[in-house]
Amino acid sequence: MFGRLSAEFGVHQSALGLRQQRQEVLAANIANADTPHYKARDFNFHQQLNQAVQGQEQARATRLSVTSERHIPGGRLSPTAPELLYRVPAQPSLDGNTVDMDVERVAFADNSMGYQSSLSILSQRIKTLGAALQP
């Protein structure tokens, strides 16, 4: 049962987790906009989501052997730790800070919209499953 639920929610769960991690990175960039020599960071969301989905498929393929039918079958968990990249500035400041507030605000707003969309899709899937389970 849990295998089916994790398969149903797996992509959306990974997307929410990655969106949340990206929001933290972008918020750190915005918070350090005036910090000398601060280098803006970000990661490629789509690439990281593809890696997370592939990791989930590999985790489903990996199974532990059980010695009793009452044992809970287990699998490998693959945490998604995004590879942070440095953002290349269009015009670096004199103090070495590479945060461009316009770029950061747009990326923050875009990521927020993606987070809300993923959350809405996930919420609707949960409501649909709940309605299917009603007698």
Domain positions in the chain are: 9-64+74-79+99-133
- The whole-angstrom separation of Cα 116 and Cα 100 is 24
**∠ CA 74-60-122, rounded to 5°:** 105
Which carries the bigger pLDDT value, residue 110 or residue 75? 110
The mean pLDDT of 5-24, rounded to a whole number, is 84
81: confidence class by pLDDT, cuts 50, 70, 90: confident
- pTM given for the model: 0.75
From 128, 97, 131, select the one nearest 12 (Cα to Cα). 128
In the chain, what percentage of residues exceed pLDDT 90? 46
Write out the two tokens for 124: 């609707």
pLDDT band at 6; cut points 50, 70, 90: low
CA–CA separation, 102 vs 12, rounded Å? 28
75 confidence band (pLDDT: 50, 70, 90): low
pLDDT at 89: 86
Would you say residue 3 has pLDDT above 90? no
Note the helical H segments in the chain: 2-31, 45-61, 101-133
